[in-house]
C-alpha cells in the first residue's frame, strides 16, 4: 500500500519535506501539504522582505514541488482548529509538523505593552500583507523610531522604514501599506544592539545593503565601533569593517538618518498612554554575560519595534518544550508516526536553505520507521465537518488576481491581496 504523509505547514520546511519524501520514498508515496492560510510558502511570502525579490524567487522552486503529481496543497486548514492530531493520524500513515515560529519573543521590561511598542513579527506581517494584520494597523507618525535587536529581521525592518515609497513601488507590498509608508513621518531610526559589533547577528550582505539606501545617512559612533581583539571569523570581520567605515564618515544630510548603536540594553519603555521614549542602559560583558554599567540614555522615540527573535507556539496535542520552545524529537521523530521539521524543530534560526537538510534528516528517520496506520481519508473527514479546503488551483487564482492588481496599479509583477475576504473573492469556483 502507498505511504501517505500529511505535512502540516507549507513554508520552506514543509515543502522541502514533501520534496524529500518524493525523492526518497517509494514512487507511490502521496503527500498532502496542509496550510492554515489560503496561500503557500510560509515566511517566503510573509517574512522575506518585499524588496528582496531574488530571495523571494525561491517560491518558484517551491512551486515546482507543489506541482509534483505525488504532492497536493490543502490550504485553509488549521491543525488544532479544523482537524486534530488524532484525526490526522487516522487519515495518514505519518504526520510531519512544520508550523514554524510565528510569535515574538518578549524582552520583559516595563512599558513593553504600551501602544507604539510593537513586535517585529506584527510589523513584518503588516508590510508583507499577512491576513492576520490589517493594512491600517500602523501609522508611521513618529519622527523617531527605535528598533531593538541587531539580527537580519531588524535590518529588514530598518531598511523598509528608511526606503522611500518609490524604492518600494515595484515590490509586492500591499497598496494600502505602500500609501502609509509614503506618508511616513519617520526621520530618525535607531537600531539598538545590547552587545558589540562583533556580536551582531546580521550577515555582511544584509548590513552592506543598509549603506546603499539612498534616502538615509547611516551613522555609527566611533566609540561604539571599537572592537578589542582581532581574531574573528570572516563574516564578523566584514561586519566590523563596514561598521568602522561608517563610523569614519559624516552624514551628508539625507532625508532620513539611521543610527546603528551598540552596547545599550533597553530597560524601560516610557509613556503614559503610548510610547514617548525608550530608556537604555550602557552595557559591558562580564564572564560573557551582558551587564549594565549604571549609565543611562533616553531616546525620544514614539515607536519601539522589538526585533529580538521569533518563537514557536505549541500545537494542540503535540509535545512541546517550554524550555526550548520547540517540539522535542530525535532526528525528527516526535512519537510513533509523528515527526517535525524546520523552525518548530530547531528554533527560529537559519536561512531558507537550512530547512532543506533539516527536512531531509526528518524524512530519512520517517522512511526508516516505515510508519503505517491510516483508516480513512482527509477529504471525507473535512467534508463531514463542512470544511472546504483551498486547493492549488484556487491559489493560482489568487496569484493571477495579484498579478492583475499589479497591472491595474502599474506596479511590478504582483501586488499582494490582503485579507481572507479579498483572497476568497479571487477564487473563481467559490
Ligand atoms: C522576517 C523574516 C525574514 C526572513 N528573510 C529571510 C531571507 O531573506 N532569506 C533567508 O534565507 N531566510 C529568511 N528568513 C528565514 C526563513 O524564512 C526561515 O528559515 C524559514 O521560513 C523557516 O521555515 P519553516 O517552514 O520552518 O517556517 P515558516 O516559513 O514559518 O512556515 C510555517 C507555515 O506553517 C503554517 N502554519 C502555522 N501553524 C499552522 C497550523 N496550526 N496549521 C496549519 N498550518 C500552520 C504557517 O502559516 C506557515 O505557512 C526570514 C525569516 C523571517 C522571520
Ligand atoms: N536576509 C536574510 O538572510 C534573513 C533575513 C531575515 C531573517 N533571517 C534569518 O532568520 C533568523 C531570525 O532572525 P532574527 O533577526 O529574528 O533573530 P536573531 O538573528 O536571533 O537576532 C535577534 C537579535 O535580538 C537581540 N536580542 C534578543 N533578546 C534581546 C533582548 N531581550 N534585548 C535586546 N536585544 C535582544 C539579539 O541579541 P543577542 O545576540 O545579544 O542575543 C540579536 O541581536 C536568523 O537566522 C536570520 O539570519 C535571514
Largest Cα–Cα separation, the chain:
70
92 Cβ neighbours under 8 A, 6+ residues apart? 4, 5, 6, 32, 374, 378
The larger pLDDT score, comparing residue 1 to residue 393, is at 393
Pocket test for ligand 2, best of 156, 309, 358 (most atoms within 8 A of CB): 309
Set of cell numbers at residue 216: 538615509
What confidence score (pLDDT) does residue 238 get?
97
Lowest mean pLDDT of 165-169, 243-247, 379-383, 426-430, name the range: 426-430
Q: Ligand 1 atom 51: the closest Cα is on which residue?
A: 47
The model's pLDDT over 230-240, given as tens digits with 9 standing for 90+, comes to: 799 999 999 99
> Which residues is 367 bridged to in the sheet?
none
What confidence score (pLDDT) does residue 282 get?
98
Q: Say whether pLDDT at 196 is over 70.
A: yes
Rounded to the nearest whole angstrom, what is the distance from the C-alpha of residue 173 to the centroid of ligand 1?
18
Rounded to the nearest whole angstrom, what is the distance from the C-alpha of residue 373 to the centroid of ligand 2?
41
Q: What are phi and psi of 86, to 5 degrees?
A: -60, -45
Can you tell me the mean pLDDT for 285-293?
95
**What percent of the chain clears pLDDT 90, i.e. is strictly above it?**
97
Ligand (nearest to CA of 128): 1
Q: Say whether pLDDT at 1 is over 80.
A: no
Q: Say whether pLDDT at 339 is over 70.
A: yes
**What percent of the chain clears pLDDT 70, i.e. is strictly above it?**
100
Q: Ligand 1 atom 20: the closest Cα is on which residue?
A: 352
The model's pLDDT over 381-412, given as tens digits with 9 standing for 90+, comes to: 999 999 999 999 999 999 999 999 999 999 99
Measured CA to CA, the distance from residue 340 to residue 356 in angstroms comes to 13
The larger pLDDT score, comparing residue 230 to residue 112, is at 112
What confidence score (pLDDT) does residue 430 get?
65
Q: Which residues line ligand 1 (CB under 6 A)?
A: 8-14, 34-37, 42-43, 47-48, 52, 55, 78-80, 98-100, 102, 124, 153, 156, 310, 315, 342-343, 350-352, 355
Amino acid at each position: 500500500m502507498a505511504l501517505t504523509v500529511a505535512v502540516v505547514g507549507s513554508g520552506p520546511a514543509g515543502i522541502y519535506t514533501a520534496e524529500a519524501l518524493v525523492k526518497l520514498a517509494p514512487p507511490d508515496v502521496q503527500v498532502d501539504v496542509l496550510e492554515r492560510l489560503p496561500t503557500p510558502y510560509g515566511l517566503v511570502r510573509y517574512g522575506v522582505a518585499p524588496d528582496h525579490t531574488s530571495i523571494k524567487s525561491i517560491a518558484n522552486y517551491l512551486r515546482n514541488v507543489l506541482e509534483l503529481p505525488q504532492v497536493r496543497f490543502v490550504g485553509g486548514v488549521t491543525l488544532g482548529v479544523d482537524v486534530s492530531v488524532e484525526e490526522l493520524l487516522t487519515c495518514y500513515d505519518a504526520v510531519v509538523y512544520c508550523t514554524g515560529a510565528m510569535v515574538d519573543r518578549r524582552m520583559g521590561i516595563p512599558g513593553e505593552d504600551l501602544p507604539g511598542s510593537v513586535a517585529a513579527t506584527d510589523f513584518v506581517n503588516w508590510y508583507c500583507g499577512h491576513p492576520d494584520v490589517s493594512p491600517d494597523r500602523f501609522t508611521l507618525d513618529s519622527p523617531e523610531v527605535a528598533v531593538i535587536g541587531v539580527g537580519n529581521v531588524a535590518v529588514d525592518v530598518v531598511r523598509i522604514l528608511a526606503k522611500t515609497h518609490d524604492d518600494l513601488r515595484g515590490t509586492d507590498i500591499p497598496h494600502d501599506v505602500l500609501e502609509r509608508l509614503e506618508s511616513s513621518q519617520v526621520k530618525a531610526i535607531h537600531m539598538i544592539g545590547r552587545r558589540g559589533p562583533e556580536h551582531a547577528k546580521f550577515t555582511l550582505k544584509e548590513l552592506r545593503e543598509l549603506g546603499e539606501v539612498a534616502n538615509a545617512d547611516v551613522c555609527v559612533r566611533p566609540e561604539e565601533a571599537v572592537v578589542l581583539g582581532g581574531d574573528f571569523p570572516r563574516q564578523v570581520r566584514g561586519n566590523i569593517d563596514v561598521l568602522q567605515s561608517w563610523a569614519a564618515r559624516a552624514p551628508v544630510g539625507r532625508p532620513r538618518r539611521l543610527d546603528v548603536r551598540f552596547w545599550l540594553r533597553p530597560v524601560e519603555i516610557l509613556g503614559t498612554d503610548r510610547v514617548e521614549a525608550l530608556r537604555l542602559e550602557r552595557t559591558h560583558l562580564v564572564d560573557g554575560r551582558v551587564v549594565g554599567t549604571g549609565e543611562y540614555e533616553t531616546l525620544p522615540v514614539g515607536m519601539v519595534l522589538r526585533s529580538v527573535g521569533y518563537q514557536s507556539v505549541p500545537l494542540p496535542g503535540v509535545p512541546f518544550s517550554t524550555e526550548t520552545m520547540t517540539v522535542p524529537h530525535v532526528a525528527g521523530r516526535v512519537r510513533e508516526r509523528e515527526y517535525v521539521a524546520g523552525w518548530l524543530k530547531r528554533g527560529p534560526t537559519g536561512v531558507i536553505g537550512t530547512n532543506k537538510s533539516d527536512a531531509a534528516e526528518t524524512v530519512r528517520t520517517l522512511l526508516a520507521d516505515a510508519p503505517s496506520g491510516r483508516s480513512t481519508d482527509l477529504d471525507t473527514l473535512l467534508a463531514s465537518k463542512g470544511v472546504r479546503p483551498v486547493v492549488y488551483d484556487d491559489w493560482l487564482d489568487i496569484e493571477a488576481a495579484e498579478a492583475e492588481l499589479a497591472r491595474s496599479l502599474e506596479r511590478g509583477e504582483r501586488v499582494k491581496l490582503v485579507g481572507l475576504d479579498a483572497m476568497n473573492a479571487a477564487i473563481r469556483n467559490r
